[in-house]
Chains A and B, each alone.
Chain A
Amino acid sequence: MYRFAIALLVAFHFGCGSTGAEDLVLMAAKAYTAHGPAIEPAVIVIRDGKIAELGAKIELPAGAHVVDLGDAVLVPGFVNAYSQMGISGGSSELTRELTPDFEVLAAIDWESRAFREAVDEGVTTVGISPGTDNVVAGIALAAKTHGKELRRRVLRPNAGLVMTLASDPRSRNRSRSRPDSIYVRQPTNRMGVVWMLRRAIQGARRDESASGVLAEALQGERRIYCVSRTHFDIETIARVAEEFDFAPVIVGGEESHRLAELLATRKLPVILGPLRTSVAAGTEQTDPVWNRAGVLRQAGVQIAMSGPSLLEQARFAVRFGLAADDALRAITCVPAGILGIDERVGTLQAGRDADVVVLDGDPFEFTTNVQAVIIGGAFVVPPDRRTREPGEANQTVGRHAAGSQSRPAPQRTQSGPNSP
């Protein structure tokens, strides 16, 4: 199967190299679009890095290069809405507690291995946030995990303002040093955290802060992410949000299941932190609950997942009770919506970026592997290193040119053996 896939990739690549602007057509057994019903069999036409057309039966454009992926299942590239991926050096500014105008964009090593690992797991878009040691930490961004040109890779340099209402900003702070030392950081307890946040918001309201970042965010021009894990922290941020009339996205939310109804009525989405199945207590000694995602979804809360091995997290979430549909949405279109980039990514839909993950079976099986990852219409996994011998390449080109070029998609009645 591997060899088969590579041969196809080469075929594709040659097509592109020679004339530059030919369409790419992906054919697979099935596609879950995260948007409408599943398409079976699936044909996707990719033009200029975007999805031009998709459906079960499509008249293929002339001269298109067809890649038949056989029994593969296509899903949208996964979106990890909250991460510290690729941040080089410290992720938090330690000399100040409120750094609303700090941009995480400046701190990212775009060549970091973390991105390559993410792509390999099918994550094509990622939200990157500053660390959690500050009450107001700075500005998050949304970017593709792969791409040569940075300006194309960053989808939104300005995906929202990140704040932390948890124990992190007060941890490691000491009150006993000299008060004028730079090593003295406030706050040293949770009340202090909330007080600093309140004061910052009030300051922003009175236009006292140097930059208007916080004020803009409070007016709803910028999304606010708030890292909170325990139920009382989530309640507190909900209270502060009500007081100052803004709608934060809860990040972490390890005990959010206890406030499912509140979150649903207030329409506060949750980006869940990495799923934990061991009994060992997490950062804040919260109880492990396996089906947190399912409980929240049942109550009508918008959920997205984050953390390493996104697909694996979604699989475990399904195992623990989340509907498969919701699980797919929680790693594709929901996080894309939260990041405000759902016009570009998160679904397989005409007009959206051609970020496609090719799976060799049902997405929600542990035995299913990521076969290929396409970002912006180009195969990224397996890496296209163009090291094929000319002879080999020509052969495959020839075969496909003779076999499948400029022909309507073959009618297929059967779906792949793995599709449910």
Chain B
Amino acid sequence: MKLNHCNWWSHALQGAAIWCLASCVWSGGAAGVLAATVDAYFAGQIWTGTEVVLDDAVLVVEGGRIVEVGSRDDVSLPAGTRLHELGEAVIIPGLVVAETGLAGGSRDGPETIAPQLKAIDGFDFYADFHRLLAGGVTTVQISPGSNRLMPGQGAVVKLGGRSIDERTLADAESLRVLLSSASRNPPTIYEPPVGAVSVDRPLEPSKRQLGRSLASAVAALRATFLAAEKGVPAENQDPDERLLLRTVADYRENRRTVRVTASQLAEVRAAVRVAKQFGLRILLVDPLQLGAYTRYPEQWAPMVEGVILNASIRPGQINNRPVPDGRRAPPPLPWENARKLVDAGMRVAIHAADDSDVHEILFLAGLFQQGGLSQREVLRMLTEWPAELLGVDDRVGSLRAGKDADFVVLSDQPFQTRTRILATYVSGQRHFDRDISEKSTLVRAAAVYDGMGQVIQDAAVLVQGGLIRGVGRDVSAPLDAESRQFPGGVIVPGFIDLHTGIGIGGPLTGTISVQTKLGDQLDSGDPAVAVARQGGVTTVLFGSTTSSPTPLVAFKLGDTLRVLRDPAAIRFKLDGNLTLTAPALKRTLTSAKAYADAWRRYDEQFKAYQEQKKAYAVALAKYNEAKKAAEAKAAEKKKEDEAAKKKSSEAGKTADEKPTEDKPDRQQGDGKPEEKSSSSESAGAPDAKKPASDDAKPEADAELKEPTKPKEPTKPKASSSLEPYRALFAGKIPALVEANRPAELREAVRIFRDEFMLKLVIAGGNDAMRVADLLASKEVAVATGPMLVRTVDRRLVNLPQVLANRQIPFAFQSRATTGVSGLPLAVTYSVGKGLAATDALNGLTANAARLLSLEQRLGQIAVGKEADLVVLSGPPFELSSRVLAVMIDGRWVHEEEQTR
């Protein structure tokens, strides 16, 4: 039916080549004309938009239409099918938004009743709908206006597609009526008669319009429908009125959809009554108060086709809601209405409260889960139901054979907070792709050193969305990937410097304590950063060099400095008189550990508590059920129950209070309190579990006991000065201990490694070769530098080389400000004095990342790692090699001048 409505489009564009193509493929069905390719999309799940969800399924598309949807094994594919493996992704139908103002509806015409206006006239097919498509929206209803009683006829359009004709699903979808207050301020019309207006005949308003109150609005509406019912005036009579009434009569007689916006109960009532009087089929839009209607669906369901609910929430904004004032209850939340309507068998759709939020409809709809609607039901409210209500379900709204191939690829199940839209397809064409929208680059060079000792000759690296997506001689890459060639160049991972003084545009001043967030002080305009990355350094640790424990922040040297972890390490210093410094350090660590432990225990307890709470809820529900049954049985028994309940609740209380009292004591000990705490947990746990286990016994027993509510564990006192140590003691970040002399090194190992069992990295470690055995046996890493090669006792000591030979992991630190770019050069000197180039590169890249526990993200050229690349003109650590270009997070941040 809807296809007929867009007849004029086909007229308009009959000559168009595009139209010809479209008609060949669809109406003619002449497959022979075009050898249409078949595409198959394999996904973890396919939600068809109806009630069906297919696991491990495939969607087959040919010529812009869906050919087949089914489980992976059931579908047989013709030869030559292009396969698209989407992994665990979830495919849902393109979203259908049942009402928007995208046709410029805010600019209303002057007439209060103007059914002849068409929203399609105001819709710009050439506008940029990227934002909406990125939000998964492929089909929208467009409204003709929003501030008049009867502003015109809406339309349904797709936001993408091959031709305008194909994109117009319905050019006259519904007749819009607004009974809400927005329409009740119509202007008086000054309509000059055709021809000159003379001074003798001053211009007077030719129409004073009705609709300044609900009563007059309804009266005007009735009058219009009545007039249309009476009959359309003959051809020779008032043509304006004729056109108007002909349109209205068409909607009435053919029972086409009239879309009525009514939010207050009185408005809804008026809408239903008008519909009943004239036998209209209405779509109810934006009802807030539905009153008794939800309870008696039979009263209004014959007139009401469906309901379009306003999400009424604007994402990212705080919405003021009316407070109950005694006289009137606040309106129910939209999802409460949704639940009731769905239960009453009504088809429901969702639209955004504001046109600028339409692209967030997936998020807004997700909120409807709060009304107890399942994900499937919510999805139907964005797909199948609106498509049916708009009368375009023959084309869109579900993933079924024969429908348009409009679908959205999600990273996860729909309506989860973190679910991302990966791609949107309209008529089989990809209109949005998150990967492609983030530019991809193919960097090709003579060799790639991956940072783990591997060298691939004549290879390329594919960078997409800031991550490395492919490495090798032959790399898959999107067709439109930007290709960047470095003939003779060598790609290595970005270098990591484990201690610098750059990033805040000057020296670090002011008091720095452990809790200082250095990341907040970073200044992207620091000129030293640009200099540093010219040497190929892409990631640095930054912090002070004081002797008290200080935090170190790790960040990337991109155009905007990006904090990786803050703090990324805590720096300690062991020097001077060790008899004084060592105990002080120990004291600090002891109190820090106590604090960290207290919190760890709390976290464990809290986890247990959460589980108990869940069990409690179940038990309580069961108990209440049983109680009800018991109440019916006998009143005397109830008294007994109460007595028992009292007892049990008292018992619970005493048990619960214990842990809080215990806490201060426990902080003294180390290790042991854990056992204690677990015992206290077990003390609490049985209480919660009891009712559940009781349930298994004969019912009579279960009735006696109400389950005990588990008590939430008390939080330890938070201390900002000790907070950073939690990560340290959890082993998430290392302790970077500056120690140079053998005694200092030994002490560092003893305290940090042995006593407190922390992740230890020696910083500096000038004399590390003297305690190499110790370091090797304890697997302690060293961040060497800034002096890598020294003359000690008239002998040249190349510390990195010594460490390398003793299998001690090492990385490098420059401790420089303006000279950070010189770090690779310093390493080159070390290579010149015997260090293997491979070891040197590892130390600058992968090893450094590992010491920071950032090896999952940095330090290697491997798939999934962040795209920090350095392109050298020759092999690394050759004196002739220059840095040609540096990429951080997929962006080129430094390039050698092409022409000098």
Contact = CB atoms under 8 A, between A and B. Distances in A.
- Answer yes or no: A and B touching, Cβ < 8 Å: yes
A115 to B, nearest CB: 19
A149 B897 contact: yes
Contacts of A149: 897
A299 B176 CA distance: 75
A393 B484 CA distance: 11
B899 interface: yes
Interface in B352-376: none
B899 A49 contact: yes
Given A149-B897, A378-B899, 12 more contacts: A13-B898, A17-B485, A17-B487, A48-B900, A49-B899, A386-B483, A386-B484, A387-B482, A387-B483, A389-B483, A390-B485, A393-B485
The 5 A-B pairs at the shortest CB distance, nearest first, are namely A377-B899, A18-B487, A49-B899, A378-B899, A48-B900
A148 interface: yes
Nearest to A18: B487
A16 B482 contact: no
B488 interface: yes
Contact of A148 (B482, B483, B897): B897
Interface residues of B, number: 15
A20 B488 CA distance: 11
Contacts of B488: 18
Contacts of B485: 14, 17, 386, 390, 393
28 contacts: A13-B898, A14-B487, A17-B485, A17-B486, A17-B487, A17-B898, A18-B488, A20-B873, A48-B899, A48-B900, A49-B899, A49-B900, A148-B897, A149-B897, A376-B899, A377-B899, A378-B898, A378-B899, A385-B482, A386-B483, A386-B484, A386-B485, A387-B483, A389-B483, A390-B444, A390-B483, A390-B485, A393-B485
Interface in B853-900: 873, 895-900
B444 to A, nearest CB: 7
A222 B358 CA distance: 59
Interface string A353-390: 00000000000000000000000111000000111111
Interface of B: 444, 482-488, 873, 895-900
A234 to B, nearest CB: 42
Nearest to A152: B897
Contacts of B897: 148-149
A62 interface: no
Contacts, number: 39
Nearest to A149: B897
Contacts of A385: 482
Describe B's contact surface by its main secondary structure: strand
A241 interface: no
Contacts of B487: 14, 17-18
A49 to B, nearest CB: 5
A149 B534 CA distance: 14
Nearest to B487: A18
B59 to A, nearest CB: 31
Describe A's contact surface by its main secondary structure: loop
A21 interface: yes
Contacts of B873: 20
Interface string A137-168: 00000000000110000000000000000000
A48 to B, nearest CB: 5
A44 to B, nearest CB: 14
Contacts of A49: 899-900
B898 A16 contact: yes
Contacts of A376: 899
B641 to A, nearest CB: 78
A388 B488 CA distance: 18
A331 to B, nearest CB: 24
Contacts of B483: 386-390
A339 B898 CA distance: 27
Interface in A198-246: none
A148 B898 CA distance: 10
A40 B484 CA distance: 37
A389 B900 CA distance: 26
Nearest to B895: A148
Contacts of A378: 898-899
A355 to B, nearest CB: 12
A300 to B, nearest CB: 39
Contacts of B484: 386
A18 B444 CA distance: 13
Contacts of A389: 483
A119 to B, nearest CB: 16
A386 B483 CA distance: 7
A128 B790 CA distance: 54
Contacts of B444: 390
Contacts of A18: 487-488
A20 B900 CA distance: 9
Interface string A48-87: 1100000000000000000000000000000000000000
Given A14-B487, A390-B483, A393-B485, A21 B898 contact: no
A109 to B, nearest CB: 16
Residue from B484, B486, B898 whose CB has the most chain A CB atoms within 10 Å = B898
Residue from B484, B487, B488, B899 whose CB has the most chain A CB atoms within 10 Å = B899
Interface string A1-34: 0000000000001101110110000000000000
B763 to A, nearest CB: 36
A377 B897 CA distance: 12
A377 B486 CA distance: 20
A293 to B, nearest CB: 35
Contacts of A13: 898
Contacts of B486: 17
Contacts of A17: 485-487, 898
Given A14-B487, A390-B444, A21 B482 contact: no
Nearest to B882: A20
Nearest to B489: A17
Contacts of B482: 385-387
A264 to B, nearest CB: 41
A386 B442 CA distance: 11
A390 B483 CA distance: 8
Nearest to B482: A387
Nearest to A50: B899
Contacts of A14: 485, 487
A40 to B, nearest CB: 27
Contacts of B900: 20-21, 48-49
A14 B895 CA distance: 15
Residue from A17, A48, A49, A387 whose CB has the most chain B CB atoms within 10 Å = A17
A242 B444 CA distance: 65
Contacts of A48: 899-900
Interface string A378-406: 10000001111110010000000000000
Contact of B899 (A16, A387, A388, A393): A16
A166 B764 CA distance: 68
A48 B900 CA distance: 5
B568 to A, nearest CB: 32
Nearest to A13: B898
Nearest to A388: B483
Contacts of A21: 900
A371 B485 CA distance: 25
A49 B898 CA distance: 9
B659 to A, nearest CB: 61
A376 B898 CA distance: 10
A385 B482 CA distance: 9
A301 B485 CA distance: 52
A21 B482 CA distance: 25
Interface string A323-337: 000000000000000
A148 B885 CA distance: 14
Residue from A48, A385, A390 whose CB has the most chain B CB atoms within 10 Å = A390
Contacts of A393: 485
B282 to A, nearest CB: 51
B892 to A, nearest CB: 11
B478 to A, nearest CB: 13
A21 B900 CA distance: 8
B108 to A, nearest CB: 36
